[in-house]
Structure 1
């Protein structure tokens, strides 16, 4: 516990020091000016180290730099934003006292000093600082855990796939550290690929945790069942297992899942309440709209499987509503714009597709909703 006392009057310094030492505060530093306070705090150092100080008691009227200006300067430094400052002053001007509080001081004590009052105000301010320090430590720990969870979440997502018969890649831009959008793809057989994109209700930690629960079941479900209709029913069953009878919130998610068979040249898919996917097959635009409702609402769901055959080549774009809402703010015909960009012969990179829609998209503010798109093209 270190307290710095700043006053240009040596007698005042001695009085405050004596009161504090008798109260058990022995780690004290006495400074005669705001300039020396700046030097002690190393405000001008290019790479300042942390200076241990828990409280500043400061006179308001001092030569060269007065207490109010010093208060503003110290608190403007990022390291000392939460440092408590108490003015010890003989000035009774209410306007000046209001200015001092506006500058960021937490309290003031009038001269001549009342020992009981001074110590009570110090205890009050130090309690507040302790609470702030604990909160900052807690926030730092939570941020560390969020960063770790984000790394785990990102590591679970499928990496780009480049095979002789297919290319698959994605762009993923969450609004927060943790997102509710997930995607995955698996090679089911020599010429078969299962691809899924899902969007969990809500944002942040809760949606991410529920999404990771579903994600943990994806590989076994897709590799073991394969058929889009049965996969969606199984994921719906898994989602319903999370529902508690007394819960006010029942989570759900939308998804598109399809099986691409490059030997049979077919795309079998189910759209579970998700934004419509776009397929370019033999230069013709097809929409992935057949399917069912979002998953997690009902125990029994009716599922309609869509089948799209192709002769030469296919290119499929799936995206979450974060992208569609973002595009709708820019274009009246968002789907037409997406379809047109997707028809370019060399369009195999979703980042390039986004660049055509919004040059410098990666530099603009994060979207209002998690944004994800997956692009699949046959060779």
Structure 2
């Protein structure tokens, strides 16, 4: 721990130093002016940080750079903004003292110095700094862990597929460090592909963890269950395992699961309370409307499978409601129409470019919800 004493009067420096030495504070630095304080802190060399500065005791009235100016200057430096500054001053003007506090000072002590008062105010300021340092260290650790969790979450998302039958790819734009949207796809056999998109209730760590849970469940399930109805019922059963009667909140998600059979040119799907998917051909577009309630809300759910046949080159667009919210059109029908038009017009562009185009007319300053879009192009 180091404390800097800033005073142009040598006698005052000696008095304060003696008081602090007797109280057990040994690492004391002396500055006789604001300029010397700047030099100690390397104020004019922003890449250099002086470690371990815990407190500054500063006179208010000094020649050249006075205490108020020095205090304001220090407050502009992010690296020293949390270092408490206590003015040790003979100025009794309440306006000046108020100005000192407005400039960023933590406290003040009047001259002649009362030893007990000075030490008590120092202890209070140092406790406050300790709390701030603890919170900063904790926030840094949490940010590191969130970054790590974000990398893990991204790693479980399926990589693009392009083979002789289909091209499957997605765009994923979380509104928070950790998101509640999740997608996955699997090649079931030589002719069939299963694709899942879900939107978990809420955002952040808890929603992300539930998505990771669903990811592990799907990887095990998809090898033995391929029928969309059975997949949704199984997911609902697993979500029921997360419910706790002592909590008011239970997790649920909307989802759409499609199985594309490229041999029979058929799409089987279940839409569990999710925004309708779009099957887009050269001649028209078909909605994959909801056929079941959201997953996790009820112990038992009624699930109905839908089937759509297609001919020729076809695109299947699945998306979360965050995409619709970022579009400027006034209703969902108009938004879906725009998605269909852009999918046809920008067939050679990536889903990311299409999403950018879809949201280009919005006046929102920040993204309100997670955005995810999956495009399946059947060759």
* TM-score, normalization by structure 1: 0.96
Contact 1:162–1:168 (CA under 8 A) maintained in structure 2 = yes
1:360: how far off? 10
Contact 1:292–1:303 (CA under 8 A) maintained in structure 2 = yes
Alignment of 1:187-206 (within 5 A): 187-206=187-206
Q: What is the match of residue 352 of structure 1?
A: 353
Alignment of 1:273-284 (within 5 A): 273-284=273-284
Residue aligned with 1:343, SS: helix
Residue aligned with 1:140, SS: helix
Matched, 1:53 2:53: yes
Q: What is the match of residue 320 of structure 1?
A: 320
Q: Deviations over 1:202-254 (max 9, x none)?
A: 11011111111111101222231100011000000000110011111011000
Classify 1:345/1:8 alpha carbon distance in 2 versus 1 (closer, same or farther; 3 Å).
closer
Distance 2:126 2:19 in 1: 16
Contact 1:167–1:348 (CA under 8 A) maintained in structure 2 = no
Distance 2:241 2:161 in 1: 32
Alignment of 1:85-96 (within 5 A): 85-96=85-96
Classify 1:46/1:96 alpha carbon distance in 2 versus 1 (closer, same or farther; 3 Å).
closer
1:46: how far off? 4.6
Distance 1:113 1:147 in 2: 49
Classify 1:111/1:330 alpha carbon distance in 2 versus 1 (closer, same or farther; 3 Å).
farther
Distance 1:193 1:365 in 2: 38
Q: What is the match of residue 227 of structure 1?
A: 227
Alignment of 1:206-285 (within 5 A): 206-285=206-285
Which has the larger displacement, 340-349 or 92-101? Answer: 340-349
When the two chains are superposed, the root-mean-square deviation of aligned CA atoms in Å is 1.6
Distance 2:266 2:50 in 1: 64
Contact 1:252–1:297 (CA under 8 A) maintained in structure 2 = yes
Matched, 1:334 2:296: no
Contact 2:274–2:290 (CA under 8 A) maintained in structure 1 = no
Q: What is the match of residue 302 of structure 1?
A: 302
Classify 1:205/1:241 alpha carbon distance in 2 versus 1 (closer, same or farther; 3 Å).
same
Classify 1:304/1:282 alpha carbon distance in 2 versus 1 (closer, same or farther; 3 Å).
farther
Contact 1:173–1:366 (CA under 8 A) maintained in structure 2 = no
Classify 1:22/1:360 alpha carbon distance in 2 versus 1 (closer, same or farther; 3 Å).
farther
Contact 2:273–2:290 (CA under 8 A) maintained in structure 1 = no
1:348: how far off? 5.5
1:49: how far off? 3.2
1:2: how far off? 0.2
Q: Deviations over 1:178-202 (max 9, x none)?
A: 1110000010001111000001001
Q: Deviations over 1:271-310 (max 9, x none)?
A: 1001111110343100110420000011111111111111
Distance 1:27 1:128 in 2: 20
1:365: how far off? 5.5
1:375: how far off? 0.8
1:330: how far off? 4.8
Distance 1:58 1:203 in 2: 47
Contact 2:323–2:355 (CA under 8 A) maintained in structure 1 = no
Q: What is the match of residue 42 of structure 1?
A: 42
Q: What is the match of residue 172 of structure 2?
A: 172
Q: What is the match of residue 70 of structure 2?
A: 70
Which has the larger displacement, 81-90 or 282-291? Answer: 282-291
Q: Deviations over 1:33-74 (max 9, x none)?
A: 111111111121152234321100001111111111111111
Contact 2:149–2:178 (CA under 8 A) maintained in structure 1 = yes
Distance 1:95 1:181 in 2: 55
Distance 1:72 1:330 in 2: 49
Distance 2:64 2:194 in 1: 73
Residue aligned with 2:222, SS: helix
Contact 1:276–1:288 (CA under 8 A) maintained in structure 2 = yes
1:345: how far off? 6.8
Q: What is the match of residue 33 of structure 1?
A: 33
Distance 1:50 1:169 in 2: 49
Contact 1:170–1:350 (CA under 8 A) maintained in structure 2 = yes
Q: What is the match of residue 22 of structure 1?
A: 22
Contact 2:177–2:204 (CA under 8 A) maintained in structure 1 = yes
Contact 2:326–2:359 (CA under 8 A) maintained in structure 1 = no
Distance 1:325 1:124 in 2: 49
Distance 1:352 1:359 in 2: 10
